Amino acid sequence: MNIKQSFGKKIKEKRLSQHLTQEELAEKIGISPKSLSQIELGNNFISANNLEQICLALDIQAKNLFDFENENSKEKMEYIINKLKQNSSLLNKIYKIISIIE
């Protein structure tokens, strides 16, 4: 996932957490719903002015929209878990290691 996609995903998460439709948020920040959709999909990026408007509309700080650390960690964990599900031998080895540590 690239930075535009991660950024768009954050905007969408914040918008949905406040029960706003794309149309409602787009109206609040003065852009078209289609433009907001393209931002949320990571196809377009926003101007500094629109960033400020989004932050005001969602009552958040801009830095919160750029905090991708947890997102990347979650994706890595999901990847590892899926790999372990596909390889029971490796999963058993890891289980043995954890049992020894505990």
What are the pLDDT digits (tens) for 16-39? 999 999 999 999 999 999 999 999
Distance CA 14, CA 49 (A): 18
Predicted TM-score (pTM) of this structure: 0.65
Judge whether 65 and 7 are in contact, CB under 8 Å.
yes
The CATH architecture one would assign to domain 3-65 is Orthogonal Bundle (1.10)
What are the pLDDT digits (tens) for 33-84? 999 999 999 999 988 889 999 999 999 999 888 876 665 566 777 777 777 8
Please, what's the b/e burial string for 28-60 (b: 16 or more CB within 10 A of its CB; e: otherwise)? bbebeeebbbbbbebeeebeeebbebbbebbeb
Q: Which of 23, 20, 55, 51 is nearest to 36 (CA)?
A: 23
pLDDT of residue 2: 82
Residue-range domain boundaries for the chain: 3-65, 69-101
